[in-house]
Structure 1
């Protein structure tokens, strides 16, 4: 897969401030290591993206199934394909592959010649199910992003039980039963924006960052805008970013389901 990385992307990385030894070590170890190191250094510059959906589906295991849904030649030298993917753990997602033609040197008789190759610009994912679906039971098919947004939706509608369903066993052991969880949500002021936030148009919750820490661990940042004047004043009319820390359950109960270990107020977003 490293052969599909554009030369411009590889050159940018090799010319970064890291030592040559470290750069080469990260590149040769694996495409996953390269993706993570490149994203850490050039996240703002863009140009090459393999997001958390794609990492889980393609780099942490062999997919169970891949089905091409559509493909399109966007322009001369630009191509896109959308695929329905079931990952090794049963997680379902839709991946979009964006490719472009790049001229490269290749070996030829008595020298080299220039040839055109398709290279990756990005692989990005999205959930199979509509974003407004309330997930009523843990299931391996649901990606962690969908689970986190479903929990937030449940809290907004005052349904603490639907949120508590997706708390991990460790989380439940620390928090206690549902009644205590509900009381905690109502009593702690830092959680108030989770219960009362805007849901319409430009003010709806935003998924602002996803960091795939390992095959079984992910941090998801969601920004919400408080819906009451009092809370907006308290938080200086800024969005509040909450971080979901989630784990893939080893089983036997809820095996391969993404569940929440913790949710905490992370930062403010102007």
Structure 2
């Protein structure tokens, strides 16, 4: 026996009806284009959320800060390199200045030493010494008597035992050295001031013609050669190398600072 369900407004639609109704509704929406409108929110959902946007900003800021730090580190490194280069340049400049100053100092010291040596040499060459150290005049200049062929003494005699060192009284050049008659062994020196000095009756001679001598240099040994009565040194000062051009030897020595 078959039963037929009654229908009415209070009856719930069957599942088949509900499904059919939904299908019809979707079809209607598709036909009217409403479904396209409903799809728009789905596309909008692909836009970043507020949380995602904040994360992106944080990453961007972090990257920017990192770049700034890198740039700052590079600048500091460059500044350090430049500072080191400046330091080395300053050290090199200081070294060069020190070397130049040392060179200038050494040059000045060398020049000062040379000046001092020249001055010492000048003083030495312009100085005069006694021909016999620690002696005295035993016979004066122009003393008369038969002992001298000219009738008077043309020089002065210094007391000296045979073999006593005889010195050049000043700087000059030897013009005669050897035997000379009554003078015996003699040395004649042309002095730097143009005068001449003679040393006679020598037992030996230690210089030669042309040799330069300095004040106080030993040139011979005293003796008793030639026309003498005993050992001594005969000393003359002359205006030329020739006999007869004699001048007062004591005055000559004293004019050059030698006190005898």
Please indicate the TM-score interval, normalised by the length of the shorter structure: under 0.3
- Based on CA coordinates, which of the two structures has the bigger radius of gyration? 2
TM-score in terms of structure 2 length: 0.23
Instruction: Determine which structure has the larger strand proportion and give its number.
Output: 1
Greater relative CO (CA pairs within 8 A, separation 6+): 2
Instruction: Determine which structure has the larger helix proportion and give its number.
Output: 2
TM-score in terms of structure 1 length: 0.22
